[in-house]
Amino acid sequence: MEKQPVIGFIGTGVMGSGMVRQLLKSGYSVRVFNRTKAKAEPLIKDGAVWRDSVAELAKDADIIITIVGYPKDVEAIYFNGGILDNAKAGATVIDMTTSSPELAIKIYEEAKAKGIAALDAPVSGGDIGARNGTLSIMVGGDEDAFQRMLPIFKAMGENIVYQGKAGSGQHTKMANQITIAANMLGVCEALAYAERAGLDPERVLASISNGAAASWSLSNLAPRMLKGDFAPGFYVKHFIKDMTIALESAAKMGLRAPGLALAKERYEALAERGEADSGTQALYKLYKE
């Protein structure tokens, strides 16, 4: 790419907004569309250009990046008059939503038939990672497309790894979520145990946070649990979505994943109690009863 590509970006929620801002900071020309326009206003003030529809945005972009809520939202914007019916041949589409590996393959194949390159590139690192451009980005699709998009990824993230053919980015993100899921049970149960045993849980964390029990969740979420801070870094409802995809995917591969199944069941119980919009650390509430 000799001249700077035009980037179309769909999904300016908490994650997307941080990512668009990083792209603008790197000097890219970014057009944005979002279901709720109000969420894009601060970006428009900062130089992003508004487009009135998915189709309009897709038409003249060289690169189309999407990060929306659920697989059904991804389907809605890619198919049936969406991105793939409007993007020009030679364009590259990158779905950064955490979504199903199967859908990533479907997008890849339909895109390829139209001369469009497609990458699945979900991220981890949360809103802070998005804001600071320090996301981990796990990429699936053709390696040459990955190489061409590397400067774009580097504008948004730090740990950028090509994982293999289409769907591999999503599969890697699933592995990430599977690791977290069971670990959250352990963190909550350990804290609840410490409290019931009459220990000072802060002191317990001082003993266990840096040894063999160490984890990101223990260091970052356990202190919030103890403070009763259940504000979302990562939503319960989105975690349930991810675990559902992972469990379905595992079942298709004939893999029993009882830790994941248990975590999903517990999180669903939590959501049923009205905690779908809390942060994942709210799981601790189930153990306080």
* Euclidean distance between CA atoms 184 and 284, whole angstroms: 9
- Residue whose CB is less far from a second copy, 47 or 233: 233
What is the pairing mode between strands 135-141 and 117-120? antiparallel
288 is catalytic: no
Q: Least distance in Å: CB of 271 to a second copy?
A: 17
Q: Report if residue 69 touches a second copy, rule: CB under 8 A.
A: no
Per CB under 8 A, contacts with a second copy among 206-225 are 206-208, 210-218, 220
| Given 3, 37, 173, 285, the catalytic residue | 173
Residue 152 binds to a second copy (criterion: CB under 8 A): no
Interface map 106-145 toward a second copy (x if CB under 8 A): ------------------xxx--x------x-x-------
Q: Are 146 and 162 in contact (CB under 8 A)?
A: yes
**Which residues are 7's β-sheet partners?**
30, 63
188's enclosing H/E stretch is: helix 168-196
Quote the DSSP letter at residue 5: P
Residue 202's nearest CA partner among 223, 178, 176, 229 is 223
Segment interacting with a second copy, rule: CB under 8 A, options 33-41, 109-117, 146-154, 246-254: 246-254
Interface map 248-277 toward a second copy (x if CB under 8 A) = -xx--xxxxxxxx-xx--x-----------
Near a second copy by CB under 8 A, which window of 16-24, 77-85, 143-151, 165-173? 165-173
157: which strand partners?
Answer: 135
**Contact call for residue 189 and a second copy (CB under 8 A):** yes
Q: Give every CB contact of residue 147 below 8 A, 6+ residues apart in sequence.
A: none
Q: What one-letter code names the amino acid at 274?
A: G
Smallest separation (angstroms) from a second copy to the CB of 170: 9
Size of the site for a second copy (CB under 8 A): 73
Distance CA 276, CA 215 (A): 24
User: Among 1, 49, 199, 231, which residue interacts with a second copy (rule: CB under 8 A)?
Assistant: 199
- The continuous run of DSSP H or E covering 222 comes out as helix 222-227
Catalytic residues: 173
